[in-house]
Amino acid sequence: MKELYGFLFAMWILILVGGAIVVTILGPIAITGFGELDWLVTSAIQGGIAVSLVIIWIFILLKIKNWIFKKEIKS
């Protein structure tokens, strides 16, 4: 059971770290030079970065899961 609490806590820390990245990197992005399409280009880039962050988040979580639950998963 300790492992589950550890995994929960690791997920929470990842959410906090992810939040910091989103606020400091994703939020300030503002692309100009495309006229009326500025908002669309900005949103597309923000979307791309957000999806990449989610994929990285899942990848890290998979690694943590394998590390924390290696005994349980094998049993």
Partner 1 sequence: MTELIIPAIVSCIVAFLTVYLSTPFLIKYLQKQNQTVQDVNKPGNIMIPRPGGPSIIAGILLSELVLYAFLQLNEILAVMITSFLAFLIGYVDDKRVLSGWFKPIALAIAATPIIFLGAYDSSLAFPIFGDVQIPVLYLGIIILMIPITGNTINSIDVLNGVASGFMTIASFSLSIALFILQNYEMAIVSLPLGLVSLAFYKYHKNPSKIFPGDSGALALGAMYGAIAIVGQIEIIAAVALLPAVINSFLFLASMKKVVEHREIKGKPVEHTDDFKLKATADETAPITLVRIILAGGPLTEKQVGFHIFKLGVFSGILAIITAILVGVSL
Q: For the CB of residue 36, give the shortest distance to partner 1 in the complex, in Å.
A: 14
Q: Which two tokens stand for residue 27?
A: 């939020």
Q: For the CB of residue 24, give the shortest distance to partner 1 in the complex, in Å.
A: 7
Distance of alpha carbon 2 from alpha carbon 6, whole angstroms: 6
Residue pair 62/12 in contact (Cβ under 8 Å)? The answer is no
Residue pair 14/57 in contact (Cβ under 8 Å)? The answer is yes
Q: Which residues bind partner 1 (CB under 8 A)?
A: 1, 3-5, 7-9, 11-12, 15-16, 19-20, 22-24, 26-27, 39-40, 43, 46-47, 50, 61-62, 65, 69, 71-73, 75
Q: Please, which residue, 24 or 33, has the CB nearer to partner 1?
A: 24
